[in-house]
Chain A
């Protein structure tokens, strides 16, 4: 193994030659600036034409800061297929590889045949059915969320039946949604399609990502959502009563609970219930 310091300009960072897109955090850049690149990158070839096996992020950081890149040259020759496998194995040994990277890797490795793809699906603990998602043309917005870890295998597989146009629509809807909201959105879109409620595009007019999510919930789970609405109405009318979180209201009822520390508090709660009951004109059996 030969160790050399190499100018970052010597490295070519072609998208088709890398497993991941280097996203550099401010923290990492500060560290590079303060201490330089401390962990050598691994490469094949020589210093005039190095091919990275592991360390794209570091090379990208070095390029931006104009730092020399400590490089370990491996004294082996690898076929392109072996290079992809070595790149993945290097990354797997160091950190958790994102779904996006696994997806990218499998797309590349599929070029060498189905048997190899299937072997890697197993190695990466992905279900065989995942291979269908490799055929999808995923918009940049979805790829970016995959790289951030916001989209998991189950979510990605749930939208495999979407057309490229619908995939674009879905991508444009993710906007400011949090990770758990993105996962819920994927599940809702998948159920929306299964239920054949309508065309996805007809929902585009909704003003915000959150409101659209709300709209989808109502369309996909009308019964559950109507119970949710009633729960909120009751909760606002009974501020000292706490809703017992019953998953999907499985027994069909809404359960509220309250505690008290004195008989005075108890009588206040009873008063609240009486008010609520009379306001609802005795129709509250249906809700509670």
Chain B
């Protein structure tokens, strides 16, 4: 992350986080209007601008999943938004009204929100990856360490998941005791590198997972979005083989599977911004939620193939689940469609068991 312009909202000036970040970066006091005028002048790219603000909305929110689909009851802690990785399928291109990087500095209420959230939701799983990548902020300030500290202090009241497409875990603190944190990477074969230009290579991500395990964390893998490229069967099979060759399956808390999906407004953006992209070359239909997806049978074939590959390699595989999929697809792939609370508990327990093995009391 290279910030060329730091803009601080007037109400964000007197916060410790603002002081910490602006120590090495000159800043301008201003708001969205100023940033929009800077962008219009063409002096900066959106991803070079960081806006420090005060969020008036709660940080902790239930993941909206997609209507009528099987939810995993995940919760998002949206303290930051925007990303520098430039994945071509990323819905943030269309979803965010503010295309620059934004960090909310008013963290004083986060502990209370997490405490209330964990009282309300048993087995609360929290991540920061809905509107940003959890690890792109590290060169600027130790976001991961700060959140891990909160999870550690809460001692299992919630489970933190830090999800990334990067591969540098050098700033990840060594966990002397149970960090109640899962470090997760999103993996795709290197053949689709051009669709996610800022993402680290799968090899580097797998190496990074080993670093995280060595530092005392349990890890997770998101095979998401799975892309139906012509050689997908071979490419994903090789990716899974490499993963299990390098990373012990017992250290992986879960593997999520999700296939390419995006709202209709993203389609013209992909076409215009990324003319050489192959994302739109597969057959795509608009589903019940109006999002573009691969047809039902193609998705089922994709998930079944990957599941079978995992099962063929491991006697005791990590917990597999589907992200944003319908009950019908769940039934076809796993012969079940769990309730969100049940799925959430399974995922939580899988990670906590793994962490407790690493950090016995």
Q: Do A and B bind each other?
A: yes
Within 8 A of B (CB), among A128-187: 129, 132, 157-158, 161
Can you spell out 27 A-B residue pairs with CB atoms less than 8 angstroms apart?
A: A129-B272, A132-B272, A157-B268, A191-B280, A191-B284, A194-B280, A194-B281, A195-B281, A195-B282, A196-B281, A220-B283, A221-B283, A223-B283, A223-B297, A224-B283, A224-B285, A247-B287, A247-B288, A248-B287, A250-B285, A250-B328, A251-B326, A251-B328, A252-B295, A252-B296, A252-B297, A252-B328
A92 to B166, CA, bound (A): 53
CB distance from B36 to the nearest CB of A (A): 13
Given contacts A223-B297, A247-B288, contact A252 B283 (CB under 8 A): no
Within 8 A of B (CB), among A187-224: 191, 194-196, 220-224
Given contacts A194-B281, A250-B326, contact A223 B298 (CB under 8 A): yes
Interface membership of A249, Cβ < 8 A: yes
Contacts of B295 in A (CB 8 A): 223-224, 248-249, 252
A222 to B288, CA, bound (A): 19
Query: When the two chains form their complex, are residues A250 and B280 in contact, meaning their CB atoms are under 8 A apart?
Result: no
Interface membership of B286, Cβ < 8 A: yes
Count contacts on B: residues with CB < 8 A to the other chain.
21
CB distance from B185 to the nearest CB of A (A): 29
Interface residues on A, range: 20 to 34
Residues on B lying within 8 angstroms of A by beta carbon are 268, 271-272, 275, 280-288, 295-298, 300, 326, 328, 332
Given contacts A195-B280, A224-B283, contact A250 B271 (CB under 8 A): no
Instruction: Beyond the given A191-B280, A250-B285, please list 9 additional residue pairs across the A-B interface where CB-CB is below 8 A.
Output: A129-B272, A132-B272, A161-B275, A191-B284, A247-B287, A248-B287, A251-B296, A252-B297, A252-B328
Interface of A is mostly: helix
Nearest CB to that of B264 among chain A residues?
Answer: A154
Contacts of A161 in B (CB 8 A): 271, 275
Contacts of B284 in A (CB 8 A): 191
CB distance from A206 to the nearest CB of B (A): 21
A263 to B20, CA, bound (A): 79
- List the 4 closest A-B pairs by CB distance, nearest first: A252-B296, A194-B280, A251-B328, A223-B295
A161 to B273, CA, bound (A): 12
A195 to B271, CA, bound (A): 11
Query: When the two chains form their complex, are residues A250 and B268 in contact, meaning their CB atoms are under 8 A apart?
Result: no
Query: When the two chains form their complex, are residues A248 and B283 in contact, meaning their CB atoms are under 8 A apart?
Result: no
CB distance from A261 to the nearest CB of B (A): 32
CB distance from B276 to the nearest CB of A (A): 11
A248 to B288, CA, bound (A): 9
